[in-house]
Every structure is written in C-alpha cells, then in structure tokens.
Amino acid sequence: MQSAAALRPCPARQLVSRNPSGPLLPARPLRVSVSAAGSVATTRGLPLGLLSASPDREGKSRQRQVSCGAAGDAVAAPSAEEGGGLMKTLWLGSLFGLWYLFNIYFNIYNKQVLKVFPYPINITEAQFAVGSVLSLLFWATGIIKRPKISGAQLVAILPLAIVHTLGNLFTNMSLGKVAVSFTHTIKAMEPFFSVLLSAIFLGEFPTVWVLASLLPIVGGVALASLTEASFNWIGFWSAMASNVTFQSRNVLSKKLMVKKEESLDNLNLFSIITVMSFFVLAPVTIFTEGVKITPTFLQSAGLNVNQVLTRSLLAGLCFHAYQQVSYMILAMVSPVTHSVGNCVKRVVVIITSVLFFRTPVSPINSLGTAIALAGVFLYSQLKRLKPKPKTS
C-alpha cells in the first residue's frame, strides 16, 4: 500500500489556472483494486477440495498408518486454525483501513472539485460513469462473477437505483455548500430516518431504548447546526434529503427483494445499481446543468483542466472503491459490527477534513458533533439487543 504522503491531495486553490506553477498531483496515482475479493473466495473453497478420501486396501496395517496420520493432523490442526484466524483478522483490518482511506480521499478530492466547479449534477454523473466503467471491467475480466439477471429483477432494482442516484446527488449538493465535517454531522441522523421509515413502511417498531438513543443524535445535530460557521440552508436540507433517500433505499431493498433465490450478492447489486444510476441521471444532467465537465468549458471558466479532470477521476475511483470494500466487509462481519465501523469512519472523515481544510470549529460545535456520533454508536449497540419473546 502506498504511503499517505504519496496520496496527499493538493490544496484546492491549485485547481485554478491563475496559479499554474503550483505543484501537481502526486506522481504515483491512487490505485484501486478489489481483486482480493476473488482470492478470498478461492481460499474459502480450497479446504473443501482437499477433504477427499481413498478406500483402504491394506487392511489393519493401513488402518494403523491412517490412525497415526490422523493423530498427527489433530496435533497440527490448532496451529493451522490459529494461523487462519490471524490472517483473517489481518485481512479484515486491512479492509477497514482501505474503507476509511478511500472515504477520506473521496471527500477531499470531491470537495476540492466542488469548490471551483459548482455543478453537483455533473460531478455525480461523472462518478457514476467511472463506477460503471469499473463494473463492466470487473465483469469482463472475471474479477467479479457476471450476474445472471432477469427483466423482473431489473424492474425491482430500478427504484433502488433512483433513490441511490438522489442520495448521492443530494450529498454532493450539500458538500458543495457547506463544510465536509458539517455534511457528515448531519448525515449522522441516518438512524433516525431508518427507524421512522422502517416503522411506516415495514411495520418494524423499535424498543424504548432504541428510541432513547435517537435523542442524543437529534440533539447533537441541532447543537452543531446552531453553531456551524459554514451553515447554509441548501447544504443543510440537501444532507437531510440524502439521509431520507439512502434510508429509503435500505427499506426498499428489504421490501422489494425478499426472496433468497431472486436476490443478488451485494457487490453485483451495487454494480448494477451504479450502471442504472448513470443512465437515470444522464438525461437530468443534459436538461438541467448541461454537460459542463469538458475541457472546453473548464478552460473557458479559467480552471486548470488537467487538475479538475484528474481529481474528478480520482474522486470517482475512490467513491466506487470504498463502496466495494464496504460490501466486502459486510460479507465478513455482522451488520452491527459494520454499523460501528461506519460510525468510526464518520469520525475519521470529520477529523481529517477539519484538519485538511482547516475548518473553523467552535467548542460547542465540536460538542454537538461528539454527542451526535456517540448517539449513533449507542444506537448501533442497542439494535443488537433483541427483545425477549413473551411466554404464555
């Protein structure tokens, strides 16, 4: 893995062509690879192929040899099992590190571009385009097994693609108007909308303790909003709309794809949604902002064409990579562990963005953010506690 110094993004002011002498992007580009997913699947399959047995043709003598061999294997088994557990832990830790790293760089590159190129629809469409190309490449090369999908499944996935498109668009609209740290503080309210929408559409009602954990989330976000230096109503409501749409996607995925035989694995489902989102947003881009992310337009706007296009590409790569890694982690751990990891990820993104962009943060604002994130952590822990069944 490359060092963080080699991946450090350049200051946003270098995107403007008035300072052409500024340093360019790192010489070594950010490389995105999820080929390890395939190796994990292969590794899991190996033991099954090795557990073959042949008939015993040598009577008792052969039986004694087999018994001795089995005894030796029994002695060696614990160390092999421990080694496998250690490797799995190291692999999982590496995935969490990549998840956080890709997320950090996505937010930094994305914010840098949005600061000088305030066209969130174009930026979102560019990210879907990068993700679509990567998905098609993974399918073509066999890194990800190409799914067999029916027309009925595509119809079921279309609503998910629409809300996925809206969720990412609203997030980019918010990032273009307010600080990265404030957008992610507002997005900490996702559990609130998850509980609300699950109760309305799925009939899933939370326990009293889960409801109580929502209070610090709402209170913390309110406190942070009142003291936010970069507060902007468009940025605030865009982040809120992003919460609603992303949680709607989760509810829809439960409601529309309940049959096991009709469902897809997470990586393929995300890839299909990405490709569909590109086609959903394409006409919207043309008829609203127009296709602005072109060398001609960027040059006429006085922007550094190479820097804007390069960072837009890197943002798209990081966006698709962190989503892919997130699904790989979800396949290895419980939803609760994944939720806790997501909470920690939000803390890491907020802290790094504040340090990188030197965002002014007051003590009360920091307190509000901390309370909200603590509430999210408490919520994720309480969700794992299932109510005891009533006995008659």
- pLDDT digits 0-9 by tens, 102-148: 999 999 999 999 999 999 999 999 999 999 999 999 999 998 888 88
Q: What percent of the chain has pLDDT over 70?
A: 74
pLDDT tens-digit map of 169-221: 999 999 999 999 999 999 999 899 989 988 888 888 889 999 999 999 999 99
Q: What's the chain's average pLDDT? A: 80
- The torsion defined by the Cα of 266, 45, 102 and 346, in degrees rounded to 10, comes to 60
- DSSP string across 289-304: T-S--SHHHHHHTTB-
Euclidean distance between CA atoms 322 and 96, whole angstroms: 10
User: Using 50, 70 and 90 to split pLDDT, how confident is the model at 153?
Assistant: confident
CB 135 within 8 A of CB 295: no
Helices (H), 1-150: 4-7, 36-50, 59-116, 120-141
Q: pLDDT value at position 83? A: 58
Report the alpha-carbon distance of residue 392 to residue 389 in Å, rounded.
10
Which amino acid does the sequence have at 366?
Answer: S
Alpha-carbon gap, residue 127 to 316, rounded angstroms? 4
Confidence of residue 77 (pLDDT cuts 50, 70, 90): very low
Average pLDDT over residues 258-269: 64
Sign of the Cα torsion 292, 294, 300, 303 reads: positive
- C-alpha to C-alpha distances, 254 to 105, 113, 277, 381, 392, nearest whole angstrom: 31, 35, 19, 21, 31
Q: How far apart are CA 24 and CA 17, in angstroms?
A: 12
CB burial of 56-72 (b: ≥16 within 10 Å; e: otherwise) equals eeeeeeeeeeeeeeeee
Mean pLDDT of 308-319: 95
**What integer pLDDT is reported at residue 337 of this predicted model?**
81
Position 169 scores a pLDDT of 97
301 vs 45, which has greater pLDDT? 301
Q: What is the pLDDT of residue 36?
A: 38
Instruction: Say which residue the tokens 């790989």 belong to.
Output: 328
Checking if the pLDDT of 280 tops 90, the result is yes
Q: What is the mean pLDDT of residues 250-279?
A: 76
Pick the more confident residue, 248 or 321: 321
Q: What is the pLDDT of residue 54?
A: 42
- What tens digit of pLDDT does each residue of 328-371 get? 898 888 777 888 888 899 999 999 999 999 999 999 999 999 99
- The per-residue pLDDT for 327 is 85
User: Residue 9's pLDDT band (boundaries 50, 70, 90)?
Assistant: low
Chain CA centroid to CA 167, Å: 13
Answer whether 269's CB lies under 8 Å from 213's CB.
no
What is the structure's pLDDT at 257? Answer: 53
pLDDT of res. 288: 93
Looking at residue 388, its pLDDT comes to 55
Query: Counting beta carbons within 10 angstroms of the beta carbon of residue 372, is it exposed (0 to 12), middle (13 to 18) or buried (19 or more)?
Result: buried
More confident residue, 392 or 83: 83
311 has a pLDDT exceeding 60: yes
The pLDDT of residue 31 is above 60: no
What is the spatial distance between Cα 201 and Cα 160, in angstroms, rounded to a whole number? Answer: 15
